[in-house]
Amino acid sequence: MDLETAYLVFGIAFGWVWSLGILLSPASLGERTRASLIMFCSSFWLVGAATFLSGLVKTYPILYAIHIPFALGIAPLLYIHFQITLLGLELSKKEILLHFLPNLICVILLLPFWLGGEELRVHTLQNIMQGGTYSSILAFLQITPKISILSYFLPLLWIYRSYLFRSEQDENEERARRMFLLFICLVCFVIFWGLTGSILRRIEFVKESIFSLPVLLVIGFLLSQREPNWLGFVGKSLREVRYKKSRLKGMDESKIKDRLETLMRREKVYADEDLTLSQLAEELGLTNHQLSEFLNQRLSMKFSDYINSWRVEEAKVLLLEDPDRSILAISESVGFNSKSAFNEAFKKFADSTPSDFRKTAIQYKASLKF
């Protein structure tokens, strides 16, 4: 193994170990899963580079492009993580799946190459430089992850330029802003440099971009360790920018709050496990953005946290009123679709597990009898 390949293998291993470490962090399950997948897919991108530069793809042509579906998932995962974690927005399953439509198309286009036999694969790779139709499609797929990342990142940089290029009075927020801006600019530059090299067929540009990826992974890790709350500061400021022009102007917010509590307390709409932001907004006569702003800015809660807090309160009542009823049955009755999600939410809002809560309450009642 030459030095270049060893360096890329280090980047792959580093990213995968980091992704496993993220899964063990105390963040919410959704946040951990998204961040871990981003790290895993970013590292898997390097697998393609390592197999190409080491010449392994010539020996095993089936390895060609195996990284592309993973690399193509980086941009939508980052975007979804940005929307949910930093902006506090809720995305429907349909919206999330639409972001991964290019990944599905990519897999469909690659299936003939992967399933077509060794002779077809060798012939296809030999024709890439000659411009055969299918070979040209495969060559284009190689640059789609770079195009995807820039097409997601650059519009976001433009939309939130008023925050990214202003000074913050708070020292911690200002440091977080600078770190965030520097890291995003580095990522965009590295990706743009690689895309330029691919278009101009300048292999040295492509290699420089590839060798920069492990460095970006290490920088990202060091930033997360040095300033573990930096994304929290960034998210707070980004939400302020988003809601600077309030969509709730001219609306009676006290009536919105009263109607919302009525839907929760009396009609118990939270018990519907398929309840979405859109459905609740429709019940209130609001748009999705208006309801999202109200929950985030006025109640300081995301939609999922708001709904889950009501579910947990109802579950606490049922755990005490019906001690013989199973915890799983109670979790389903209040709207959770899995026991693990119920346990996570219960611990978040009640600071204990459902079983510990019930046990403590029973012991307390028993002590009162004596």
Question: Tens-digit pLDDT profile for the chain (370 aa)?
Answer: 688 899 999 999 999 999 999 888 877 788 889 989 999 999 999 999 999 888 888 889 888 889 999 999 999 999 998 888 777 777 778 888 999 999 999 999 999 999 988 888 888 888 876 767 888 898 899 999 999 999 998 888 887 776 666 666 677 777 777 788 888 889 999 999 999 999 998 989 999 999 999 999 998 888 888 776 666 656 666 666 665 556 676 788 888 989 999 999 999 999 999 888 888 988 888 888 788 888 887 888 888 889 999 999 999 999 888 888 899 999 999 999 888 889 999 998 988 999 998 888 766 555 555 4
Helices (H), the chain: 3-23, 29-53, 56-59, 68-71, 74-81, 93-99, 101-115, 118-126, 133-159, 161-164, 171-200, 203-226, 230-242, 253-265, 277-284, 288-293, 303-321, 327-333, 339-350, 354-369
> How many Å apart are CA 35 and CA 100, to the nearest integer?
16
DSSP string, 205-263: HHHHHHHHHHHHHHHHHHHHHH-TTHHHHHHHHHHHHHTSS-TTTTS-HHHHHHHHHHH
Q: Nearest-5° angle of CA 277, CA 278, CA 284?
A: 90
The token pair that represents 231 in the structure block: 């994304």
> How many Å apart are CA 44 and CA 72, to the nearest integer?
11
**pLDDT, tens digit (0-9, with 9 covering 90-100), for 30-55:** 888 998 999 999 999 999 999 988 88
Cβ pair 180, 227 in contact under 8 A: no
Hunting for tokens 């019906």 — which residue is that? 322
Cβ pair 342, 358 in contact under 8 A: no
Amino acid, single-letter form, for residue 177:
R
Among 105, 110, 100, 117, smallest CA distance to 139 is for: 110
The yes or no reply on domain 3-242 and CATH 1.10.150 is no
> How many Å apart are CA 104 and CA 327, to the nearest integer?
38
> How many Å apart are CA 138 and CA 96, to the nearest integer?
26
Q: In Å, how far from its chain's centre is CA 33?
A: 7
The verdict on pTM exceeding 0.85 is: no
Question: Where do the domains of the chain lie?
Answer: 3-242, 253-369
Q: Is the dihedral of CA 178, 225, 37, 11 positive or negative?
A: positive
Q: What is the CATH number of domain 253-369?
A: 1.10.10.60
